[in-house]
Each structure stands twice: as C-alpha cells, then as structure tokens.
C-alpha cells in the first residue's frame, strides 16, 4: 500500500487541548456518543450520497502518536507530562456504527455514530469530518452529473484541477462509487480500483507535422482504444475528416469498428450532430462521440434538450471541485454520555437557529420501503433500543409540525447504521469498490424520481420516533 495512513496529527488543536483537559479533570474515560450528520444537501438536491468510510476505517486502525509527535506536542508547553505519556499508547478502543458507503443520506439523520471514552471520541472529530465531508460532496455532485448523462458513461477527468493530491485521488474514488465509469487518474486506479483510461491531449496532435499523421500514428499504436481529439485545428473542416481517414486506413482493415472522437470546445450540440452525420455517412456507425469542456449536470442536460449526439462524457473541474457548491457541511455533535453505572444520559445542543438544535441520545436509523414498488418513503430515527415492527401499522409525524401525521402499513424497515468497530476491533467486512458502486446504484434506484430531480426536489421525510421526540422536547424545555 503506497498510501500514508497515519493521520493521527491531522486534528484540530482543540481536540488535544480538550483531551488534555479531560485527562486532567478525570473525564478521560467517560463514555460519550457523538453523531455525524449534515444539515443541507448541496445544490439544493433531494439527497446526498455517503462516502469516505473506508478511509475512516484506515484512519482509526492506524491511530498512533510516534515519538516525534510527542516531542512536538511537548514543545507547545500546554500539555501535562502525564497526558503526553498517555498519548504514547493512544489507541481507539470504542465502537463505531455507520451507513455503508454509497447509501443515499438525508439531512439531520446520523450517518455515523461513535461510542468511546471521551478523549478518543472527541479526538477523531476532525479527520472523520474531513473525510466524510469531502468524499460525500464529490459522490453527491458526481451522481447528479451521471444522472444527467442518462446512462451514458461519464469519466472523471479532474485531477489537474483538483485542490491537491488527496482531492484528486479520493475525489476519483468517490466519483467512481457514485457512478462514474472510470477516471483519468492512474494512481486512483492503482490504489482504489477506479478504472483508469483516457484519450489524448492537443499536444499529441501538435507534435506531428499534420493532424492526419497524428491520428494515424495513434490508431496504429492503440487500435483497440483509439479516441481521437478532433478540435485542435478545425472540428468539421479537418478534425472529423482526418479521423475518418485514419479509422478507415488503419482500423477497418483490421476489422476494428469500435473507435471514438472527442469534442473539447465549441458548440457541443451542433458539432456532435454534424460529426455524427459525417461518421455515419462514412459507415463508421460504431464510432462513439465523447464530449468534454467544463461540463456539469446542467450543461449535459441542456445538450440533450438540443439534440446532441454524444455517447460519453469526460468531466473534470466542475466535478472534482464540486464547483457549484464546494462545501459539505457534515458536523460532529455530542448526543449522550454514560454515567458510572452505564446509564445513557442524553445531551442536547440548543441554538437560536432551530436547524442547529441537535437530536439527543444514542440512536438508530430505519429506512422504510413501500412493499408495493419497493421505493423508500421515509427514514425514522429512533432510540437505540427501539425496534420498528413492520407487521404493525406505523404512525409517522413531522417532528416540526406534529399535527401532520400519517399511518403506514405494508412496508419494510431496514436499519441503516451498521457496526464498524466494536471495542476498537474492526467488525465490518470491507466491501470492494465495485460492490460499493453497485450498492450505490441499487439504493438510488430505490429513491423516488421526485427526490432525484434537480429543481425543487421532494423533501424526503426524516422523522423521529415518539419516544425520541419526547426526550428531545424534555431537554429543550429543561435547557430553554
């Protein structure tokens, strides 16, 4: 494995000052429950996609301070020697539950829960959030682009515009989970198995005395994988005619009919229609047309409305940076602590802004599917020891407008949070990236089209059980 896996020191400094404080005040071993959740779907979409758990697992498994780290921390002159000694043997010994990667997720429901001694549970905040936030952001954006492409392959082309190596590599990983067919990023394939591939740059065409020689040479070298970039000089005047010549001269005599051209500038709808006609007239019906150039879900959707004849897309900067909304606002909030006898004491965070009030306690999340048609219709957040009995009618209510109630029958309830670590031990059989990708596609199929539309999507219900709602109200009244 080439990756650098020990990110222990990639924490906000306050995790350490709080840790030292808990250590010095006897709170170190108090068991805490923290939830990761988010408040708004990027781009005002109907759902997000969870990604990044694999890197959370690697992080937790590799948590350890080395001598240099301890030496550095000593130099800050704010940590006790006893705490620094404690850090030498620091390991994660707690429990983690999380939704599997690729799961559609909704605001205000836990997507990961940590139960661990206070110092540990607090310490892992920064890395968990940065990882889940980044990959969920890119997965969510990618899936919009992939849906706009209506089944045509979308390749991730963004490494060169990514905000650093991790953004390129893990962005490529997240984009593959969310439906990209592959990536231009070679290391993302080597590390994570997102298939790498690509076409050619304008420089290849410029390097040769003329365009036809450049195309011919490429076809001779890669007869089974020749996608020629046709916009270096003049798409319809020279690019497409020269591509046709090269295909006919080099590929057809070998019986190869599958090939491609890439359009990377100009009016992609117009050019693709014209190019399609020229290719078909030349008998090259198996030649696919790729398009790239600052694409996103809106341009792709628009291209089809204009009758574009495009078979595949390369999408870079707007995907890898999630340009339209570059922040995924996942947060990490204390939901409960345990007393000496193991009783769970729920904790709430109050805010003037109702959206920022947390849901207390150790919780579970159930996704409810309609048995007729199989689509998901709501998520129900319950206390950790509640079970949803799908054989009985279930009354759901809007937690913000409790008079809005509806009773459901003939449904299936699926628990979303699955055990990842128990007592510090990994208990989750890590799925392969192909399994995660296939799971993601299946789960998105189970969402209603109304939740998936780009503009004004249906507001999917994330409800609280009556018991959980009551506890939240009690705490609100106590603290308010």
Ligand X SMILES: O=C(O)c1cccnc1
Ligand Y SMILES: Nc1ncnc2c1ncn2[C@@H]1O[C@H](COP(=O)(O)OP(=O)(O)OP(=O)(O)O)[C@@H](O)[C@H]1O
Ligand Z SMILES: O=P(O)(O)OC[C@H]1O[C@H](OP(=O)(O)OP(=O)(O)O)[C@H](O)[C@@H]1O
Q: Write out the residues near ligand Z by the rule CB under 6 A.
A: 157-158, 160-161, 201, 264, 292-295, 314-318
User: Considering the rule CB under 6 A, would residue 12 count as an interface residue with ligand Y?
Assistant: no
Q: Give dist(CA 62, CA 329) in Å, integer.
A: 26
User: Considering the rule CB under 6 A, would residue 232 count as an interface residue with ligand X?
Assistant: no
x/- mask, ligand X, residues 427-466, rule CB under 6 A, reads ----------------------------------------
For residue 13, give the H/E element and its range: helix 13-24
C-alpha torsion 124→379→454→141, nearest 10: 20
The entry of ligand Z, ligand X, ligand Y, none that residue 268 binds, CB within 5 to 8 Å by partner kind: ligand Y
Residue with Cβ nearer ligand Z (160 or 425): 160
User: Considering the rule CB under 6 A, would residue 265 count as an interface residue with ligand Y?
Assistant: yes
Q: Which of residues 193-222 bind ligand X (CB under 6 A)?
A: 198-199
Q: Give dist(CA 291, CA 152) in Å, integer.
A: 11
Report how many helices (DSSP H) and strands (DSSP E) the chain contains, helices first.
17, 21
**Binding range to ligand Y, per CB under 6 A, among 218-226, 247-255, 292-300, 442-450:** 292-300
Q: Give dist(CA 167, CA 369) in Å, integer.
A: 35
User: Considering the rule CB under 6 A, would residue 226 count as an interface residue with ligand Y?
Assistant: no
Name residue, tokens 């697992």: 57
Name residue, tokens 């780290």: 69
The entry of ligand X, ligand Y, ligand Z, none that residue 17 binds, CB within 5 to 8 Å by partner kind: none
Shortest separation between residue 153's beta carbon and ligand Y, angstroms: 17
User: Considering the rule CB under 6 A, would residue 184 count as an interface residue with ligand X?
Assistant: yes
Two structure tokens written together for 114: 């940590």
Two structure tokens written together for 219: 């076809």
Exactly one of 69, 302, 386, 435 binds ligand Y (CB under 6 A); which one? Answer: 302
The entry of ligand Z, ligand Y, ligand X, none that residue 315 binds, CB within 5 to 8 Å by partner kind: ligand Z
CA distances from 359 to 254, 335, 386, 472 (A): 65, 7, 16, 6
Name residue, tokens 């759901």: 396
Shortest separation between residue 202's beta carbon and ligand Z, angstroms: 6
Shortest separation between residue 201's beta carbon and ligand X, angstroms: 7
- The closest alpha carbon to 124, from 144, 152, 103, 94, belongs to 94
Shortest separation between residue 264's beta carbon and ligand Y, angstroms: 7
Two structure tokens written together for 13: 């400094």
User: Considering the rule CB under 6 A, would residue 319 count as an interface residue with ligand Y?
Assistant: no
The entry of ligand Z, ligand X, ligand Y, none that residue 199 binds, CB within 5 to 8 Å by partner kind: ligand X
- The closest alpha carbon to 290, from 164, 199, 381, 423, belongs to 199
The entry of ligand X, ligand Z, ligand Y, none that residue 198 binds, CB within 5 to 8 Å by partner kind: ligand X
| Cα within 13 Å of Cα(247), Cβ side | 28
Q: Are 244 and 214 in contact (CB under 8 A)?
A: no
For 474, phi then psi, to 5°, come to -55, -50
Residue with Cβ nearer ligand X (155 or 242): 155
The entry of ligand Y, ligand X, ligand Z, none that residue 299 binds, CB within 5 to 8 Å by partner kind: ligand Y
- The closest alpha carbon to 319, from 146, 95, 188, 471, belongs to 146
CA 356 vs. chain centroid, Å, equals 23
Exactly one of 228, 295, 315, 336 binds ligand Y (CB under 6 A); which one? Answer: 295
The entry of ligand X, ligand Y, ligand Z, none that residue 266 binds, CB within 5 to 8 Å by partner kind: ligand Y
Q: Are 303 and 268 in contact (CB under 8 A)?
A: yes
User: Considering the rule CB under 6 A, would residue 324 count as an interface residue with ligand Y?
Assistant: no
What region, left, alpha or beta, does residue 432 occupy, with left being phi > 0 and alpha being psi -120 to 50 degrees? beta
Q: Give dist(CA 430, CA 101) in Å, integer.
A: 10
Residue nearest to ligand Z (CB): 316
Which residues, including other chains, have CB under 8 Å from residue 19's CB and lie 6 or more apart? 28, 83, 119, 122, 123
- The closest alpha carbon to 177, from 164, 188, 165, belongs to 188
Residue with Cβ nearer ligand X (102 or 316): 316
Residue with Cβ nearer ligand Z (115 or 318): 318
Residue nearest to ligand Y (CB): 265
User: Considering the rule CB under 6 A, would residue 314 count as an interface residue with ligand X?
Assistant: yes
Exactly one of 82, 294, 327, 355 binds ligand Y (CB under 6 A); which one? Answer: 294
| Cα within 13 Å of Cα(178), Cβ side | 32
Residue nearest to ligand X (CB): 198
User: Considering the rule CB under 6 A, would residue 157 count as an interface residue with ligand X?
Assistant: yes
Shortest separation between residue 157's beta carbon and ligand X, angstroms: 4
Question: How many residues in the shown chain lie near ligand Y by CB under 6 A?
Answer: 12
The entry of ligand X, ligand Z, ligand Y, none that residue 431 binds, CB within 5 to 8 Å by partner kind: none
Return residues touching ligand Y (CB under 6 A).
Answer: 265-269, 293-295, 299, 302-303, 306
Return residues touching ligand X (CB under 6 A).
Answer: 157, 184, 198-199, 292, 314, 316
């Amino acid at each position: 494995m080439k990756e650098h896996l020990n990110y222990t020191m990639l924490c906000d400094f306050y995790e350490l000052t709080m840790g030292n404080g808990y250590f010095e005040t006897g709170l170190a071993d108090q068991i805490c429950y923290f939830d990761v959740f988010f408040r708004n779907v990027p781009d005002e979409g109907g759902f997000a996609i969870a990604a990044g758990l694999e890197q959370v697992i690697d992080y937790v498994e590799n948590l350890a301070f080395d001598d240099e780290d301890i030496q550095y921390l000593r130099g800050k002159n704010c940590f006790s020697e006893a705490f620094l000694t404690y850090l030498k043997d620091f390991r994660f010994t707690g429990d983690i539950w999380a939704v599997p990667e690729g799961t559609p997720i909704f605001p205000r429901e836990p997507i990961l829960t940590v139960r661990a001694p206070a110092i540990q549970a607090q310490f892992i905040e920064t890395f968990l959030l940065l990882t889940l936030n980044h990959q969920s952001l890119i997965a969510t954006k990618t899936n919009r682009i992939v849906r706009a492409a209506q089944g045509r392959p979308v390749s991730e082309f963004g490494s060169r515009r990514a905000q650093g190596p991790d953004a390129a590599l893990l962005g490529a990983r997240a984009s593959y989970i969310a439906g990209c067919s592959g990536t231009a990023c070679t290391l993302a394939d080597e590390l994570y198995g997102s298939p790498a591939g690509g076409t050619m740059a304008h420089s290849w065409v410029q390097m040769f005395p003329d365009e036809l020689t450049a195309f011919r040479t490429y076809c001779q070298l890669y007869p089974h994988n020749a996608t020629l970039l046709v916009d270096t000089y003049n798409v319809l005047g020279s690019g497409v005619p020269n591509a046709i010549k090269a295909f006919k001269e080099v590929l057809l005599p070998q019986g190869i009919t599958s090939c491609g051209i890439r359009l990377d500038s100009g009016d992609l709808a117009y050019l693709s229609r014209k190019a399609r006609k020229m290719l078909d007239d030349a008998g090259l019906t198996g030649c696919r047309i790729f398009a790239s150039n600052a694409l996103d879900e809106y341009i792709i959707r628009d291209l089809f409305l204009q009758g574009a004849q495009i078979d595949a897309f390369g999408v870079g900067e707007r995907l890898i940076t999630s340009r339209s909304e570059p922040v995924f606002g996942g947060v990490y909030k204390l939901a409960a602590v345990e007393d000496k006898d193991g009783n769970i004491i729920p904790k709430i965070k109050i805010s003037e802004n109702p959206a920022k009030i947390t849901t207390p306690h150790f919780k579970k999340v159930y996704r409810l599917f309609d048995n007729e048609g199989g689509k998901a219709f709501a998520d129900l957040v319950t206390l950790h020891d509640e079970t949803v009995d799908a054989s009985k009618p279930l009354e759901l209510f809007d937690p913000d407008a409790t008079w809005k109630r509806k009773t459901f029958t003939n449904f299936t309830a699926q628990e979303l949070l699955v055990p990842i670590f128990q007592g510090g031990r990994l208990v989750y059989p890590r799925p392969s990236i192909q399994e995660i990708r296939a799971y993601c596609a299946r789960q998105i199929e189970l969402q209603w089209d109304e939740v998936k539309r780009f503009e004004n999507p249906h507001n999917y219900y994330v409800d609280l059980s009556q018991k959980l709602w009551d506890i939240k109200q009690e705490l609100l009244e106590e603290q308010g």
